[in-house]
Structure 1
């Protein structure tokens, strides 16, 4: 049996990206994503995104709070021990492999000719 872990979401950035640069040269961008439900009166679902590498740099440069983006990635569950209580904690995180800037043409035309960025391309 083959396993499949693919997540596709379209939503709006809940904040400006939080970007970290490491001595190894790696770049990490973390970002909350709000995805609306079908009914207008429902509250959006929130997802924690982690974006690495060149795609993280693109997100850092072009994604701002409120930006409409599409992502493709995989779901991971991060676990850690709470410093104060010592209890085990966990949260779901989407590890983004592909990012699409979906704002209006006017928003994007100054940024790049191609609006899709894929981790594998860099």
Structure 2
């Protein structure tokens, strides 16, 4: 049995770089910083690759510094350097699921409007559970 599963929570290191293909497919690439348990340590950085509808969500709502959670799988991109002819590679997490985790204040600051949740007026007399 083989398992290749990655789950991370961290902050976007830059705005997503988005490409649209003639076929209608969308891909977004960005980096993600994940803090270690010891706050004095430098964060770990991950390259993310997001395809399809999730890529469009990233393009529309993820900005540098956004708190996000992802689930995906690890892959190793390989290519030949055009200048030197050397074999090159870089680790990438191919994202299957993207979660937007920022606070309401973060969302308001980035003009975020999540269409997946309906805004219902709060009734202070009701207990919300």
Give the TM-score normalised by the residue count of structure 2. Answer: 0.84
Q: Distance in 1 between matches of 2:68 and 2:92?
A: 17
Q: Distance in 2 between matches of 1:102 and 1:3?
A: 30
Structure with larger Rg = 2
Q: Distance in 1 between matches of 2:64 and 2:56?
A: 16
Q: Distance in 2 between matches of 1:87 and 1:64?
A: 34
From the two aligned structures, give the one with the greater strand fraction. 1
Describe the SS at the equivalent of 2:4. coil
- Aligned twin of 1:102: 101
Q: Distance in 2 between matches of 1:85 and 1:58?
A: 37
Q: Distance in 2 between matches of 1:104 and 1:7?
A: 24
Aligned residues: 114
5+ residue gaps, structure 2: 118-129
Moved more, 106-115 or 73-82: 106-115
- Aligned twin of 1:66: 65
- Aligned twin of 1:118: none
Q: Distance in 1 between matches of 2:107 and 2:97?
A: 17
Q: Distance in 2 between matches of 1:94 and 1:24?
A: 23
Output the aligned Cα RMSD.
1.4
Could you tell me whether the CA contact under 8 Å between 1:101 and 1:108 is conserved in 2? no
What's the offset of the Cα at 1:106? 3.4
Post-superposition CA distance 1:26-78 (Å, at most 9, x none): 00000000001111111100000000001000000000000000000000000
